[in-house]
Structure 1
Amino acid sequence: KAEITPRFEARVQKLFREEGDRISKGQPLLQLDTTQLILQQKKDRSALEVQKKEIGLSRSRLILARQRVERDFSTIEKAKATLAEAKAQADNARRTLQNKTKLHEIGAVSDSELKGVQTAYASAEAALLRAEKDFENQKVGYRKEDLKQAGLPVPEQSGALQTALVGLNTIIEKAELEKNEATLQSIQATLETTEWMLRESTVRSPLTGVVASRDIDLGEMAKPDKAMFVVIDTRNIYLSCPIGEKDLGRIDKGQKASLKVDAYPDDSFQGKIELISPIIDPQSRTVNVRIIISNPDLKLKTGMFARGEIEDAAPDRVFLVPEESVMAADEPGKGWVFFETEEGFLFKKPVQIVESKDNQLEIRGDLKEGDRIAVGALSTIKEGDRAPEKGERKK
Structure 2
Amino acid sequence: MNLLKSLFANKVSRTIFLGIAGYLVLYFVYARIVRGNNASPLITKPGSVIFKPADAVFGRASMDASEGAPLLGSNLEGAGDGLSQNPQSVEAFKVEQRMMSPNIDVSGLVDFENKADMFSKIGGRLEKIFVKEGEEVSQGQKVFQVESLQMELELMKQQATLEASRSQARLAREKWEKAKMNVYGLVQEREKSQAIFEKAKEELEKARATFLAIEEVYKVGGLSKEEFEMAKLGLTTKETAYGVAKRDMEIRSIGLTDEDIAQNGFMVPRSKEEKLNLLKEINTKIEKAEYEAAEGVCRSHEAQVNSTKTMLKEAVIYSPMKGVVAKKYKTEGELLTGPGGNQAVLTIINIDKVYAVFNITETESTILKKGMRVDFSADVFPGSKFSGKIVLVSPLVDQKAHTVEVKALVENVGRKLKPGMFIRANIVLGEPVPTIILPAVAVLANEGDKSSVFVVKDGRSYSVEVKAGKKYGEDIEILQGLKQNDIVLLEKLSQLRDGMLVVPAFNR
TM-score range (shorter-chain normalised) is 0.7 to 0.9
Q: How large is the RMSD of aligned CA atoms in angstroms?
A: 4.2
Residue 437 of structure 2 contacts residue 477 of structure 2 at CA under 8 Å; is this kept in 1? no
| Counterpart residue identity of residue 416, structure 2 | K
1:226 to 333, 339, 342: 342
Q: Give the alignment of 1:272-311 within 5 angstroms.
A: 272-276=389-393, 279=397, 289-311=406-428
Counterpart check, 1:59 vs 2:173: yes
Taking a change above 3 Å as real, the CA distance of residues 365 and 83 of structure 1, as seen in their structure-2 partners, is: same
Taking a change above 3 Å as real, the CA distance of residues 318 and 164 of structure 1, as seen in their structure-2 partners, is: same
Counterpart check, 1:39 vs 2:153: yes
Deviation at 1:236, TM superposition (A): 2.5
Taking a change above 3 Å as real, the CA distance of residues 169 and 21 of structure 1, as seen in their structure-2 partners, is: same
Q: Per-residue displacement from partner, 1:3-49 (whole Å, max 9, x unpaired)?
A: 22222222211111222222233322211112122233333444444
| Counterpart residue identity of residue 126, structure 2 | V
Structure 1: 5+ residue stretches without partners? 322-326, 340-345, 356-361, 383-395
2:205 to 91, 109, 125: 91
1:257 to 375, 399, 412: 375
2: CA distance, partners of 1:183 / 1:5: 33
Q: Per-residue displacement from partner, 1:290-345 (whole Å, max 9, x unpaired)?
A: 44433243332233333444445365414699xxxxx94448xx956699xxxxxx
Q: Equivalent residue for 2:196? A: 82
Q: Equivalent residue for 1:391? A: none
| Counterpart residue identity of residue 60, structure 1 | E
1: CA distance, partners of 2:367 / 2:277: 83
Q: Per-residue displacement from partner, 1:185-206 (whole Å, max 9, x unpaired)?
A: 2122112211211122112233
SS in 2 for 1:86: helix
Residue 324 of structure 2 contacts residue 350 of structure 2 at CA under 8 Å; is this kept in 1? yes
Deviation at 1:233, TM superposition (A): 2.4
Taking a change above 3 Å as real, the CA distance of residues 106 and 154 of structure 1, as seen in their structure-2 partners, is: same
2:309 to 175, 195, 220: 195
Structure 2: 5+ residue stretches without partners? 1-114, 446-451, 458-462, 490-495, 500-508
Deviation at 1:133, TM superposition (A): 1.9
Q: Give the alignment of 1:1-395 within 5 angstroms.
A: 1-143=115-257, 152-153=264-265, 155=267, 163-223=277-337, 224=339, 225-227=341-343, 228-241=345-358, 243=360, 252-253=369-370, 254-262=372-380, 264-265=381-382, 267-276=384-393, 279=397, 289-311=406-428, 313=430, 315-318=432-435, 328-330=442-444, 335=453, 349=466, 365-366=478-479
Which deviates more, 239-248 or 96-105? Answer: 239-248
Residue 162 of structure 2 contacts residue 302 of structure 2 at CA under 8 Å; is this kept in 1? yes
Which deviates more, 182-191 or 309-318? Answer: 309-318
Deviation at 1:83, TM superposition (A): 1.0
Q: Per-residue displacement from partner, 1:56-98 (whole Å, max 9, x unpaired)?
A: 3333322221121111112111111111111111121122122
SS in 2 for 1:234: strand
Which has the higher relative contact order, 1 or 2, with Cα contacts under 8 A spaced 6 or more apart? 2
SS in 1 for 2:171: helix
| Counterpart residue identity of residue 121, structure 1 | L
2: CA distance, partners of 1:168 / 1:374: 108
> TM-score scaled to structure 2, two decimals?
0.59
1: CA distance, partners of 2:369 / 2:224: 133
Taking a change above 3 Å as real, the CA distance of residues 353 and 120 of structure 1, as seen in their structure-2 partners, is: closer
Residue 209 of structure 1 contacts residue 231 of structure 1 at CA under 8 Å; is this kept in 2? yes
1: CA distance, partners of 2:471 / 2:254: 112
% identical aligned pairs: 26
Deviation at 1:230, TM superposition (A): 2.2
Taking a change above 3 Å as real, the CA distance of residues 238 and 146 of structure 1, as seen in their structure-2 partners, is: same
2: CA distance, partners of 1:320 / 1:217: 59
Taking a change above 3 Å as real, the CA distance of residues 274 and 50 of structure 1, as seen in their structure-2 partners, is: same
1: CA distance, partners of 2:400 / 2:301: 62
| Counterpart residue identity of residue 153, structure 1 | G
Deviation at 1:271, TM superposition (A): 2.3
Which deviates more, 48-57 or 174-183? Answer: 48-57
| Counterpart residue identity of residue 253, structure 2 | K
Residue 376 of structure 2 contacts residue 385 of structure 2 at CA under 8 Å; is this kept in 1? yes
2: CA distance, partners of 1:122 / 1:245: 113
Deviation at 1:103, TM superposition (A): 1.1
Aligned length: 357
